[in-house]
Chains A and B, each alone.
Chain A
Amino acid sequence: MAHELANRERKRSEKQSAVAELSPAKDNNSKKTKRNAKVTDELEEATDEPIQDFTTGDDGIEGATGYDSDGSTSSQDQDGDQAGTEAPEAPSSSTADTRVHTGKLLLPPKGEELRQIKEASELFKSSSFKLQIDALLPNLAPKVSHTAPLERFLFALHTVLISIPSTKPLPPLEAARNLSSKDKSRSKKSFIGDSPIAVPYPHPNPTEDVKWTVEFESPKEITVVGSWANKIGVKAREGMGWGVDLAVEMPAALFQEKDVHNARFFHKRAFYLAYLASHLSSLSTMKDSPFKVHVAYESPGADARLTTLLLRPVSDGSPTDFSKLNAFVRLIPVIPPSSPLALHRLSPSHASIRASSASSTSEPIEPPPTPLYNSALLKCTTPRLHLLHTHALIQEVPSFTNALTLLRVWANQRGYNGDYIASENAKTSSVARAFLAGWAGRGPWWAALLGVLVNGEEPISDSGRKSAKRKLVARGLSSYQLFRAALDFLSRHEWSSQPVFARTKDGKHRHPPAEYQQYHDAVFVDASSSVNLLAGMPLSSLDLLRHDAKVTLDVLGDGISAIDPFAEAFLNDQRDMVTRFDVVLSVDIANAKIHNQSHKALDWGSENSFVINSVCSVLRRALTNRAKAIGVFIQPPETRPVSQANALPPPSSIIHIGLILDPANAHRLVDHGPALTDANTESDSHEVKVFRELWGEKSELRRFKDGRIQESVVWDVQSSDARAHIPAMIVKHILAQHFGIDSVNAVKGCQDEFDRIVRLPESISKLLVHPDRSQTGFKGAMAAFDTLVRDIKSLDEALPLALLNVSPVSSSLRYTSVFAPLPLPHSTVLTSPSCARYVPAMDVELQFERSARWPDDLVAIQKTKLAFFECISTALMERVPGLKATVVVGDESSASDIMDQGKLEILTPQGWAFTARIWHDREATLLERLTDSKNGLINRIQQNFEDKDTERERKKARDALEIYTRRFIHAPKHHRAIASLFHLFPAYSGTVRLVKRWLASHWLLGGHVSEEAVELLCASVFIGDGKSLVEGNSELVGRAGVPGSKEAGFARVVKFLACWKWEGGLVVPVYGSGGTSAEGGKNVEVKAGSAPGVWVISTEEDREGRMWTSKGPTPLAARRIKVLAKASWECLKALEREYYDVKTLFIHPTEDYDFLIRLVPTAVHRYYQNVNVDPSVWAGNRKYANLPAETELDTNKTVRVNFDPAKMYFEDLQRVYNGTAVFFYDPLGGTVIGGVWDPSLKEARLFRVLCGYSSIPERQITPEAKSKNKTKDMIVLGEAAILAEIRRMGEGLVASIVVRNNN
């Protein structure tokens, strides 16, 4: 094969010369097309000639990118083509370009071009999707210009390896000593370098007294194998280099038939490798060596049996220095096909590790089967077979390479790659991310997967049932179609029950298929029928793969307008655990122990991977259908120096466990085990035993109401919040039960901390919360609301009109208020400190039957409402003792007399507060008549031109109408839609609460972003394009990609806010009326100046999308949200690397404000809800717990419902200084108001009477102003005066005002 290599070399060099000629043009598509265009022009008609010409050029480039195993240049794939935008399906696209570029604009497309356009839109998702794929592919191939040194290196390496002299056979340990000793005199091989080389003997280690020997003989054949050889390599993440696999064939003479047992083969292999290592490393230190490399061991999956040798270039600029390519060469020792080893015995059930002589337990135990050991050994036979098989596939299936590239990019973006080899010049070597367990060294599987799709499966022998369930995929499919077919397969395949046997050439199974199923978790036997490519793969990782495939298919399948499907599938990094998983736990497995399983660990090859795999499988069993997928992430393995025999322990013993929950089942309280069929034979069926073994003492025999007696596990949960913790509790229990992992110290998650964010601190809730907890929370609020409705309805005879409807419109009644609602009875409020006196009121709307007796005048309607309220309140107070009802005659913020203003404030005896309004639909008509110009005209005529000031009137009416529409039309609908989301998505409410809290703590909620807008934003993360809402709940549960916990939901919303381009708007079809949703949001256009808000969130009911965002956020606030979201998103991402207090996400940075108004905490009535609350505020002024607090406000002993002076102050500031400064405040008990001056006011201006801001005459007259004779009339913003006013207006509230000098 030496001459074979040489032969290839010749051909290659020819090709390279072609490359050299072409190279200036090849990265530049336009140049090409131009050149082409000229030719076409000259020829008048588009003949094939120039195109032909060109394709040969392409070929030249391709050939240089890598080897073909058979040395042929006529490969059909084109991924090496750096410039080509053509996919193989449309081989010649240049004519299309020509016409456009030559300026003959827009002739109708003909022939070839038409075909191409049609193909793009029919064979791919859309034509732009195809173009994007074409743009993506070249970026994933190695740079052709950098491959030349690698080629030179490979030839040099070949020469060196072939010429390494043989050694004498020696007993293994002695041989190892020889290699490792520095003392050259003892060593017979004088050329061995001075660095000690360790032999990576795998477990069980050879002993001194073995009879067999190890030796080295120069390799028989060296082949480039794997993805590099077939040119199907795909750029890996994190700057990891290209792997160039070299299969080094060990001479058959080194082995004997029985070497398959007791790792003897692996020992020989290890020595072979170590010897190679010693030779290469000593060679690198020599002066006249042909090349210089770093040599290191690498054990994929920490399995010492599969150790390979990594060669990385020393960047010395020599001709063989291929460090520019960012590649490494991996030497894999393989067995020749003709070896004497008894490979046929290595079926999965075969026990290859016999009890070693050392452990002289004379018990005649049947040695346990060693499926993984067997497959590891068989893996040493497969590299060349896979190479040939894949090559055949590439030949047969035109789009194979591209499809595989797409598939692997997709997989890389989701972390399905287990090899991490930090290259020397990796830019981001610090970003070593955790890897999914089980994916190390699975490169060949992806190609084999596509192979199975195309070629089909080998039927499981003799049984007649062919694999008719799945049809073969056609060979002529486009790359995208093939990719989708693969995803489709992955999203449906149930690995635990459906083994896959790739179709073989001779139609035979080498080993009995049933054995695979018995001894392996997942089975995917390759086309040579020799090895299970998924051996040792935890099923949980495949579950995750299935889940991801489903999510991607969903994204690709339907038009979710907010998501770009291409970016989502291929471009975005989807590995962030916080958005990917609903529950993330980090577990320290340093002290994990597994009892009585040492033989299994032996089979696994390393203790560590055995533990991790057991964790995966036990968790999978324990969580059953609670979790759709479990991701177990391990620290990336490291390469080790050749002086290190054993695989290094992973850099940290922390593993991350991520759960994707199935909302339907995740929070189940009871796990049912097997039923007891016969009460007498309690002595354990097998199933009962298994169940008890799984759960330990948690498992108990229970009798259920329907008479079943079952083994079961019951999870004890105190509050509804805690229910969300059940999956985490299970994980902790299982880890403690099976691995002895301390669930307190070694397992960490952030669920508790997130819970705490939306819960009142203990010290204050002790004061406020009623001892009977059942009364509190959302359930309690709903119950109180129902009671209220009943009470009001029963007043029928006392009211002039019958009550038709009471609709709730409060976030507390739709599960989305930040804090669970709390009843605050009279007594509690009066004794509680002033900073915890806020009694939040819930809004409800009353709708009475229609009547002709309503006055037909807006002002009179408002007065009539007051009369109604008075009527209700008197009657209600009579009926319900202890209830307090007050009529509120106006709004704090507006004084328009045609606007709906009056409301009824009700404080129930239990301490729930409500405010009721009356919805009278006649108002809308009247207001519209006022606003509508035509009707306004008539109105005016009717009024006999009495009123000339119609503009003001109309504005007033418009405002009133806006409030009316929002309050009475949209709010109740919104409320119902959001409330129903709560029932569909258990995690929704928690998400909204966290996001609201986050926005509030960053001083944006309320003042800038309305609560409803937040609810819609969060809903968009859950409902996607809303199709699921229409089809019904059953579909919905199955939909992948819905956050299953509030933490995941929160992370997704933050991520969304960080990248959302709000100019484009957002469609949230929250009402589920479906169908019409698509056209609604497509062309959202923000009308400039129509309203200050820039967000457009449209729903089916509100096409314009401004209902909840017209008041804000302003562009300033919107940008600020984006910045904050970005920062928070970075923080969230860091959560998976290191552990910190979640609260930091909710601490607001104050550097950016011009001035800060600090409030007195005791005067802030909601202070107890502050994120960073200081308990001493309420503890301090209460020396005796039973002594009521006394402040100046307590003189009248009434409960002020909804009284929040800090918020009122803030709103006044916003209104008074509108246009002068922008204010920010945390409505949830914030103690600081931040303000930013309008930057445009910084400069001096000419005096105007109504300039809209407080000014003082310019004092310093600048020389240039003087010269222009404008000295007198310039004014500047009177900052100091304004601040003094602010302070004066906030007497009793403001503690201090801090001004920052930002200049």
Chain B
Amino acid sequence: MVLPDTVAGFAVFPIVYSPQVTHVIYGKSHTNPKKATKKAVNITFPDGRTLFLANVPPDATERELSLLFKSCGTVEKVVFDHDSLPGDTLELQSESESEAEDMDAAMDGDGNGEPPSKKRKRSKKGGEDVPVLKPLPSVPLRILRETGRTAHLVFLDDSSLERALALPRKPRQWPSSDEPRGLAHYAARHDALRPPLDAVREHADSAVAVYDYQEELKKQKSGYHKGEAIVDEDGFTLVTRGGAYGKTLGGGVGVANKKFNGGSEESGRRRKKKKEGKEKDGFYAFQNHEKKRNELLQLKKNWEEDKAKVEKLRESRRFKPY
């Protein structure tokens, strides 16, 4: 069996699943896009030592990929699928918490805006008495991602990348990490979703505490006081509807008409309608004539349509009942 060395500029890494079955991962050295498009996430990977991989097995773990490229050098971290939209939908709450915590340090300026990390960031900025979110107990679990996705592999040094790209194209065995698979995986997942009650309590309480603290913080920071409008740099006042209890948290001026926010067009249409309604029907004789004529025309049109329809049906031999 012959596999090409490269495909469209990608290095081909054949992976052996079993003696007969080979999977292929495509690799390339990562280059950061020159200007971050609007949609791109502002994660930047260090140039020169990041290997971009495509067609990663869906059940690959960070450890497995690290093991695969162990021979080339130490892998600092692996980021899966960073620019897919919903991304790792399977990511568990517990994991995302703990992972995010680790990633925070590495990814400076991460504006990902995922609320949990946001909170934490702010809480760190806060001070000593900041409540800390107590994570739920986490269990190492595989995350099954969609097939054919990508990953970024960041090596510790630049030379590892070169070595990786220069790897001989002979098939290598797919390594295996400790996370359970199959039946055991599902059992573990099922159990992991049901942590002990006190852990849940701690987690929930701390989360609410964090939230309260942040709200407090926001209030202080915003300098908003009840009844005051928010004025931005250009001097425009933000006009918005109140929340459930009559005031928006962030501030703003209450709006009288509910239609104002959502249904401005609607109300405009209504006004128009009123105007139109003033003209009378059947005022002139020709209007009556026209109306009658149109009615008759409509009648005939329907009749002809029906006829055509039935004719079509007849052609399909529908009217042979048996």
Residue positions of A touching B, CB distance < 8 A: 96, 100, 106, 108-109, 113-114, 117-118, 120, 126-128, 131-132, 134-136, 139-140, 235, 237-238, 409, 412-413, 567, 570-571, 573, 852, 855-860, 863-864, 866-867, 869-870, 873-874, 886-890, 892-898, 901, 905, 922, 925, 932, 934-935, 938, 941-942, 946-949, 951-953, 955-956, 959, 1163, 1192-1193, 1196, 1200, 1203, 1205, 1208-1209, 1212, 1215-1218, 1220, 1246-1247, 1249-1257, 1259, 1272-1273, 1275, 1278, 1280-1285, 1288-1294
Q: What per-residue 1/0 map shows which CB atoms of B74-106 lie under 8 Å from chain A?
A: 000000000001101111111010000000000
Is B8 among interface residues, defined by CB-CB distance under 8 A?
A: yes
Bound: A862/B189 CA distance, A: 20
Indicate if the CB atoms of A131 and B310 lie closer than 8 Å: yes
B residues 31-86 touching A (CB-CB < 8 Å): 38-39, 41, 54-55, 57-59, 85-86
- Please give, as numbers and ranges, the residues of chain B lying within 8 Å of A100 by CB-CB distance: 304
- Please give, as numbers and ranges, the residues of chain A lying within 8 Å of B91 by CB-CB distance: 895
- Knowing A1200-B190, A1205-B183, say if A1285 contacts B146 (CB, 8 Å): no
Question: How many positions in chain B have a CB within 8 Å of any CB in the partner chain?
Answer: 105
For B238, give the chain A residue with the smallest CB separation.
A941
- Please give, as numbers and ranges, the residues of chain A lying within 8 Å of B212 by CB-CB distance: 855
Indicate if the CB atoms of B111 and A948 lie closer than 8 Å: yes
* A-B contact list, 13 entries, CB within 8 Å: A113-B300, A128-B306, A852-B244, A887-B194, A897-B96, A949-B112, A952-B85, A1205-B186, A1209-B186, A1215-B146, A1250-B149, A1256-B24, A1289-B182
Q: How far in angstroms is the closest Cβ of chain B from A854?
A: 9
- Knowing A860-B211, A869-B200, A870-B204, say if A1220 contacts B10 (CB, 8 Å): no
**6 cross-chain pairs, A with B, having the tightest CB-CB distances, nearest first:** A1291-B182, A1292-B183, A863-B207, A128-B306, A1281-B23, A867-B204
Bound: A959/B240 CA distance, A: 25
For B4, give the chain A residue with the smallest CB separation.
A1257
Q: What per-residue 1/0 map shows which CB atoms of B171-203 lie under 8 Å from chain A?
A: 000000000011111110111011101001101
Indicate if the CB atoms of B146 and A131 lie closer than 8 Å: no
Q: Is the interface of B mostly helix, strand, loop or mixed?
A: mixed
Bound: A895/B90 CA distance, A: 6
Contacting chain A: which of B124-132, B156-164, B312-320?
B312-320
Is B232 among interface residues, defined by CB-CB distance under 8 A?
A: yes
Indicate if the CB atoms of B23 and A1254 lie closer than 8 Å: yes
Bound: A886/B198 CA distance, A: 11
Bound: A135/B10 CA distance, A: 67
For B201, give the chain A residue with the smallest CB separation.
A870
Q: How far in angstroms is the closest Cβ of chain A from B87?
A: 8
- Knowing A874-B197, A1285-B58, A1288-B59, say if A895 contacts B96 (CB, 8 Å): yes
Bound: A898/B119 CA distance, A: 14
Is B12 among interface residues, defined by CB-CB distance under 8 A?
A: yes
- Please give, as numbers and ranges, the residues of chain A lying within 8 Å of B186 by CB-CB distance: 1203, 1205, 1208-1209
A118, A852, A892: residue with the most chain B Cβ atoms closer than 10 Å: A892
Indicate if the CB atoms of A901 and B111 lie closer than 8 Å: no
Q: How far in angstroms is the closest Cβ of chain A from B120?
A: 12
Partner of A117, one of B41, B204, B207, B303: B303
For A867, give the chain B residue with the smallest CB separation.
B204
Q: How far in angstroms is the closest Cβ of chain B from A575?
A: 10
Indicate if the CB atoms of A951 and B182 lie closer than 8 Å: no
Bound: A978/B24 CA distance, A: 51
Partner of A1272, one of B6, B22, B96, B203: B6
Indicate if the CB atoms of A897 and B24 lie closer than 8 Å: no
Indicate if the CB atoms of A571 and B319 lie closer than 8 Å: yes
- Please give, as numbers and ranges, the residues of chain A lying within 8 Å of B114 by CB-CB distance: 897
Partner of A867, one of B92, B112, B144, B201: B201
- Please give, as numbers and ranges, the residues of chain A lying within 8 Å of B187 by CB-CB distance: 1193, 1200, 1203, 1205
- Knowing A941-B238, A1205-B186, say if A1255 contacts B321 (CB, 8 Å): no
B149, B194, B245, B297: residue with the most chain A Cβ atoms closer than 10 Å: B194
Contacting chain A: which of B13-21, B267-275, B280-288?
B13-21
B18, B24, B183: residue with the most chain A Cβ atoms closer than 10 Å: B183
- Please give, as numbers and ranges, the residues of chain B lying within 8 Å of A870 by CB-CB distance: 197, 200-201, 204
Partner of A1215, one of B38, B89, B116, B238: B89
Indicate if the CB atoms of A140 and B182 lie closer than 8 Å: no
- Please give, as numbers and ranges, the residues of chain A lying within 8 Å of B235 by CB-CB distance: none
Indicate if the CB atoms of A857 and B211 lie closer than 8 Å: yes
Indicate if the CB atoms of B249 and A856 lie closer than 8 Å: yes
**Contacts A947-B113, A1215-B144 known; 6 new A-B pairs at CB < 8 A:** A109-B296, A113-B300, A856-B249, A1216-B144, A1247-B26, A1272-B7
Is B262 among interface residues, defined by CB-CB distance under 8 A?
A: yes
Indicate if the CB atoms of A1250 and B148 lie closer than 8 Å: yes
Is B256 among interface residues, defined by CB-CB distance under 8 A?
A: no
B residues 285-299 touching A (CB-CB < 8 Å): 293, 296-297, 299
- Please give, as numbers and ranges, the residues of chain B lying within 8 Å of A1273 by CB-CB distance: 7-8
Bound: A113/B24 CA distance, A: 75
Is B250 among interface residues, defined by CB-CB distance under 8 A?
A: yes
Bound: A1249/B201 CA distance, A: 44
- Please give, as numbers and ranges, the residues of chain A lying within 8 Å of B257 by CB-CB distance: none
Bound: A731/B304 CA distance, A: 54
- Please give, as numbers and ranges, the residues of chain B lying within 8 Å of A864 by CB-CB distance: 204, 208
B residues 138-163 touching A (CB-CB < 8 Å): 144-150
- Knowing A108-B300, A117-B300, A1249-B150, say if A1259 contacts B183 (CB, 8 Å): no
- Please give, as numbers and ranges, the residues of chain B lying within 8 Å of A935 by CB-CB distance: 261
B145, B147, B245, B293: residue with the most chain A Cβ atoms closer than 10 Å: B147
Indicate if the CB atoms of A1257 and B7 lie closer than 8 Å: yes
Indicate if the CB atoms of B115 and A897 lie closer than 8 Å: yes
Indicate if the CB atoms of B89 and A894 lie closer than 8 Å: yes
B24, B212, B245: residue with the most chain A Cβ atoms closer than 10 Å: B24
For B54, give the chain A residue with the smallest CB separation.
A1249
Bound: A1239/B233 CA distance, A: 57
- Knowing A867-B201, A867-B205, A949-B112, say if A892 contacts B306 (CB, 8 Å): no
Bound: A235/B320 CA distance, A: 10
Q: How far in angstroms is the closest Cβ of chain A from B96?
A: 6
- Please give, as numbers and ranges, the residues of chain A lying within 8 Å of B208 by CB-CB distance: 855, 860, 863-864, 867
Bound: A946/B115 CA distance, A: 12
Is B2 among interface residues, defined by CB-CB distance under 8 A?
A: yes
Q: How far in angstroms is the closest Cβ of chain A from B307?
A: 6
Indicate if the CB atoms of A1216 and B197 lie closer than 8 Å: no
For A1283, give the chain B residue with the smallest CB separation.
B21
- Please give, as numbers and ranges, the residues of chain A lying within 8 Å of B293 by CB-CB distance: 108
- Please give, as numbers and ranges, the residues of chain B lying within 8 Å of A947 by CB-CB distance: 111, 113
Indicate if the CB atoms of B148 and A1251 lie closer than 8 Å: yes
- Please give, as numbers and ranges, the residues of chain A lying within 8 Å of B150 by CB-CB distance: 1249-1250
For A852, give the chain B residue with the smallest CB separation.
B245
- Knowing A866-B203, A887-B194, say if A571 contacts B58 (CB, 8 Å): no
Indicate if the CB atoms of B92 and A1257 lie closer than 8 Å: no
- Please give, as numbers and ranges, the residues of chain A lying within 8 Å of B320 by CB-CB distance: 139
Indicate if the CB atoms of A1254 and B55 lie closer than 8 Å: yes
A951, A952, A1218: residue with the most chain B Cβ atoms closer than 10 Å: A952
Q: How far in angstroms is the closest Cβ of chain B from A114?
A: 7
Bound: A859/B238 CA distance, A: 25
- Knowing A573-B322, A922-B244, say if A1193 contacts B183 (CB, 8 Å): yes
Q: How far in angstroms is the closest Cβ of chain A from B10?
A: 7
Q: How far in angstroms is the closest Cβ of chain B from A71?
A: 32
Bound: A136/B319 CA distance, A: 5
Indicate if the CB atoms of A1281 and B321 lie closer than 8 Å: no
- Please give, as numbers and ranges, the residues of chain B lying within 8 Å of A132 by CB-CB distance: 310, 313, 319
For B12, give the chain A residue with the smallest CB separation.
A1257
For A1294, give the chain B residue with the smallest CB separation.
B182
Bound: A1293/B148 CA distance, A: 23
Is B217 among interface residues, defined by CB-CB distance under 8 A?
A: no
Bound: A1209/B186 CA distance, A: 8
Indicate if the CB atoms of A1250 and B313 lie closer than 8 Å: no
Indicate if the CB atoms of B54 and A1250 lie closer than 8 Å: yes
Indicate if the CB atoms of A109 and B299 lie closer than 8 Å: yes
